[in-house]
Amino acid sequence: MEYRSLGRTGIKVSLICLGTMTWGSQNSEAEAHEQLDHGFGEGINFIDTAEGYPVMPVAHETQFLTETYIGNWIARRGGRDGIILATKVAGPSRDPVREFRGGNNRLDRRNIEQAVEDSLRRLRTDYIDLYQVHWPDRSVPSFGARGLARLNDGPHTVPIEETLGALADLVRAGKIRHFGVSNETPWGLSEYLRLSREKEYPRVASIQNAYNLLNRTFEQGLSEFALREDVGLLAYSPLAGGNLTGKYLGGQIPKGSRRDVSRQFVRYDLPGQAPASARYVAIAHAHGLDPAQLALAYVNSRPFVTSTIIGATSLAQLKADIGSVRVTLPPEAVTAIEAVHRELPDPCP
């Protein structure tokens, strides 16, 4: 396993981060613990979760199960040594199933402080290594939207300064060690950095955004921040919702797959997805590579990536995904990938 620096924190995290958003819906607690045991046996030291998981599908009856499963595993394992644990606080949502704390989950001090206490209890730990803002409080283009035509902040939009101030106090209290952002924009990241400088608050350590062969929009404005400011990318959805494995080509929907069990995720259901995915899968086959490993190896190779978050519903998938750290793409494959990207750039932002 390769390890990379988490921003300027002094922490080293595994290049592969164990994603968990199916635990509690598609995966049982026993399967979650099996994945954790195997992943840590392979050198993974980094777990990413959220108060809003599981999401495959989102449902009231499974709310908070993912953190609970992880907490039970930590208790069974016998300690926190060697675990870099990341979780998230949810911003405001239009989906009632994603409403917490009385249906008013803003990123204000009250919500953040309560969310941390709830996550600590479920995770059965005294501290969280990386506490992330799951998505901004303000209205931004995210989860597949393109651009921002006009500002749409409401009267209850929480300023970043209040969010950051609450996070800073939690760092001082020892409840979180560091914080990061997710689904954030260049302006938002620059605000966090500016306020940290001016207010002498703790510094943002990471940014967790989607990044894959079908969506390389991170490169357009955020990669320079990642490289110059040491706010590395925790890349989620590196397989573009499974599309880059090739399993959905030709309109197939395998039983038990994400498209089969969770129809609300339509981010990659766009016209350009299928032709681009087919081209990338063909490149993998031409070079004798597993399509999933080609897609993951490309993300792993980017200098602005700190860790690639993988999510598997089976142990076989997990083993193959972890194996991507041992794959070095031949120059000819990289050249072919870049040619497809020039012809079909970011079909699924």
Closest CA to 215 of 343, 322, 341, 56: 341
Cβ neighbours around 87 below 10 Å, total: 29
Residues 205, 156 contacting (CB under 8 angstroms)? no
Residues 19, 216 contacting (CB under 8 angstroms)? no
Q: Which amino acid is present at 173?
A: A
Closest CA to 44 of 278, 253, 319, 340: 319
Annotated active-site residue in 3, 53, 236, 268:
53
Decide: residue 114, CB within 10 A, 0-12 exposed, 13-18 middle, 19+ buried: middle
Name the helix (H) or strand (E) containing 72. Answer: helix 65-77
SS (H, E, C) 219-267: HHHCHHHHHHHCCEEEEECCCCCCHHHCCCHHHCCCCCCHHHHCCCCCC
Structure-block tokens of residue 203? 């510094």
Distances from the Cα of 76 to the Cα of 70, 130, 158, 332, 336, angstroms? 10, 22, 39, 47, 47
Residues 268, 240 contacting (CB under 8 angstroms)? yes
Active site residue 131: no
Active site residues: 53
